[in-house]
Structure 1
């Protein structure tokens, strides 16, 4: 097995060998092609030039929940190697961050944060300035681990939660129902809150564009904690400028970092965080736990967890 290379995980090879005596960890020093040629499994990013040497490779563990699109180049997709990822290792962090964004927007906190900078005491008692979660409807686009947890938490506030998903059909806890993706345009006009959690795949790139935004309720709040390329920022900006959305809270962006001159920075109806929804403790330990469990399963010939449909990238 070829081990991870970053300093944070420098002890992983020794820990794997100690926990699973049947594992021999190869250190990719010198000629990486010679090393990968001996490996039955690998962790990390596997460049195409190394894949050509990986005659024995049967399993590749991706280091992220959603690697960059170039991770799945055509030769890797066609190769028989099984790919697994690190999904569900920071679900709680992303869900908590999402709820923070929703609550901040629902209670109008961005405006008060702006007032605080200039010491303005300007209470807004207009009932329409607040979205009562107990009377709201939320649409979760992507009912996987993160989407399911976001929906469960929103349901605790009394929010009516429905989802759309390409694979999941059974409603997670707190959801009223989960619908196929084809129902998205029909469901959007009823949603006060729209939360996007889907990965970046060929099917989801540019999912939220000008055409889809036409179906949003004008008073809706939109939150994206999935992947930036799933939302066309120019189209979202135009929808906000034209009053076709009440506001947006974004943690991920089509271009990262978001350029300093982008109009979204200056909008009072937009809340921006710099791709930090997954921040939180225990990240390295959780990733190692996935690697350890999958290595144990690989040795035993059992099905691996977090397997990826390489063609779909998730």
Structure 2
């Protein structure tokens, strides 16, 4: 099948060589790379497919568009507009392109919290020798219980790795019904509140959706035991940071590790920066991944499938944003 794919601005800087590679690999595809919104609107008028973001002012020109490839696994807030949700276009995303690196970063955070490394890092900066050997100073992972909230590709890999340390892993997921390797149990999303009080470690990997926005607020964090550790490597808007700060200050959490935040960059005056029980990284969990090549591989496979009329990879439920 012959069809036109539009690479929407401002994606071109990250897509060097992609148009030529797609046209060489898939006979019949024509790739357009407009440099301005005006040129993109003109290109979309006859396009069958597109890659990038389609705000309403561009979507209105996409009269025959049947497929949109989102450029990320979880596009930024505002990607899934009411207009896009209502449009018949199929949206696919780039999920599972950096599962390994994010899972490794998560394990590094869990190990750091379990061994008290955030506090020792601050001691090192202050040249302070203050060893902690008392009971409870370390969370022994063998025998501990980890609750993974969101058992997609990343959550499943986090659970598998934690199992290798002897940790009992349970999961909560809104879609998955069978426990992946390493998980002792898998529960539906509505079981979350009943499971939180038993967890020594809570790892949040869920995407930002209308349902998950602010899901970890003060009442839900209050369900955790004071000795529990809390890790978020999913999306910032799922966790209310003021509630995290309050829980730490009141001794209702043992520590937190965060890679994503409600506001990014995290403001320099934010109280989390100064807390000895917080480990913060600046949204870098996917670092080390050959991300561009992995994303290109997904796009290429979907271009091949679209040309052949086959089902696409990573189709999104637009109303739920993932």
TM range (shorter): over 0.9
- 2:23, 2:30 within 8 Å by CA — same for their partners in 1? yes
Residue number in structure 1 paired with 2:312: 304
1:34-84: per-residue Cα shift (whole Å, max 9, x none)? 211111000001121111111110000000110112111001000000000
- Alignment of structure 1 residues 101-120 onto 2, 5 Å: 101-120=109-128
Residue number in structure 1 paired with 2:66: 58
Structure 1 unpaired stretches of 5+: none
Does 2:23 correspond to 1:12?
no
Residue number in structure 2 paired with 1:235: 243
- 2:12, 2:33 within 8 Å by CA — same for their partners in 1? no
The CA distance in 2 between the partners of 1:211 and 1:122, in whole Å, is 34
**Given the alignment, which residue of 87, 92, 101 partners 1:93?**
101
- 1:31 Cα deviation (Å)? 2.7
- 1:7 Cα deviation (Å)? 1.8
The CA distance in 2 between the partners of 1:6 and 1:238, in whole Å, is 43
- 2:73, 2:96 within 8 Å by CA — same for their partners in 1? yes
- 1:98 Cα deviation (Å)? 0.3
Counterpart secondary structure, 1:31: helix
- 2:6, 2:50 within 8 Å by CA — same for their partners in 1? yes
Residue number in structure 1 paired with 2:7: 3
Q: Tell me the TM-score normalized by structure 1.
A: 0.98
1:226-246: per-residue Cα shift (whole Å, max 9, x none)? 000000111111111111110
Cα RMSD (Å): 1.0
Does 2:88 correspond to 1:80?
yes
- 1:26, 1:39 within 8 Å by CA — same for their partners in 2? no
- Alignment of structure 1 residues 1-314 onto 2, 5 Å: 1-3=5-7, 5-29=11-35, 31-314=39-322
State how many pairs are aligned.
314
The CA distance in 1 between the partners of 2:74 and 2:93, in whole Å, is 7
1:212-261: per-residue Cα shift (whole Å, max 9, x none)? 11211110000000000000111111111111110000000111111111
Q: Tell me the TM-score normalized by structure 2.
A: 0.96
- 1:202, 1:312 within 8 Å by CA — same for their partners in 2? yes
1:145-183: per-residue Cα shift (whole Å, max 9, x none)? 110000000001010000000000100110011101111
Runs of 4+ in 1 over 4 A off after TM superposition: none
